Structure 1
Amino acid sequence: MYADRYARSGGIQPGSLAIALGLNAAVVAALVLSSPAVQEKLRDPVLTTRNIPIEDPPPPIPQPKPQPHQKAILQQRQPIETVDRIVKTDAGDGPILPPTPPFDPGPPSGLDGVGTGPGPITPPLPALIAASVDPRFAADFQPDYPAAERRLEREGVVKIRVLIGVDGRVKAAQQIAATSDAFWRAAERQALSRWRFKPATRGGVAEESWRTMSLTFVLRD
């Protein structure tokens, strides 16, 4: 006899059903028992607060009142210096002087009042008008040509700085540059003895001032 391989067993086995019901009951019990612990872990902690007293800020420290003071800086009146030039000259002819425009250095600073309180208002000093060549003595600005330099047929240039007094005369002469000592001595001697200027003025009052002059010694055929 052979068994029918296509034969099937019918119905539900009682043992399998019992096992399945037992597993489901165990899972449900585990979930029920673990729920309070999970909820306990997810519960927010209780926030405890307390009041902290805040101290009042200290009163401000009184500042000493500034004492008014004034400081005046007097402008020193020093002789100004301007530059002029005598155009090329030779041993025989007088110098050709370019026109000298009036010199205006701008408004001076005057007194500078410094202080916490209002100070006196000092008007600015008048503008200084620079010294200029006196045209009546223009021909006297040409020094004599040094004989030694003439024999050597050498030309030269002298740059001289002069201090002009309130009377228009040259009070001092300083050498800035010179081709030779002979040219310098001739220019210095002429400046101290013969040069005349219109002195510098400030508000119509004559003042001493420095001026730089250039002389060129040229030989003609």
Structure 2
Amino acid sequence: MAGHTSKQSSFLGQSRHSGSGFAIVIGLHAAAIAVAFLMKSGAIRLADPGEPPEVVNIVRPQDPDPLPQQTGPETALPPPPVATPTPVPTPPGRITFTEAPEIRPVPPLPPVTPIVEATPEPVLVAARIHPSHRGALQPRYPAALIRQEIEGSCTIRVHIAANGRVIAAEPVRATHPAFCEATQRQALRRWRFEPATRDGVTVDSWQQHVVEFRIT
């Protein structure tokens, strides 16, 4: 029963809206028919548009150029006055007197000992046998000792003068007196030396030599 009532209410609402729309459509058709009838009978006339209105272009005049400004000669302004600083008076300074310290005499310095440079040692160069007299060193072999087939040696000490000659010959030792005599005689007669020097100056010197006696 409730469902049936609801359907009726819906149908009535729809019928109500449909009736309003139908009435509006009928009204519009009736108005259109009335306007057409009046135009046909001459009661309503449409206005003739006639010729189109003339269009006039209005041109805005340009603004005139501004006149140049006339400038007169520049006038130099006087320089501003220089401010002179006002001297500030200096307050008088305070003078302080300080007593000078007592000056004591300085004791004399000890005497300076002069530095004595050490004398350099002299440069000594020993005497040497002269190269041209090397073959004259060997004395003559004593004949008696050759027959006896005695060999030996002699050590002799010689004094060489600044000119390179032997001015003294002292026997030190010998295996036979005959060897010593022969060596001493040969040294005084034939031996020659390059003399010794002291700082480049020739000087006398002593040298010791050994002479061998061998039978070949």
TM bracket, shorter-chain basis: 0.3 to 0.5
Normalised TM-score (structure 2): 0.47
Name the larger-Rg structure: 2
Normalised TM-score (structure 1): 0.46
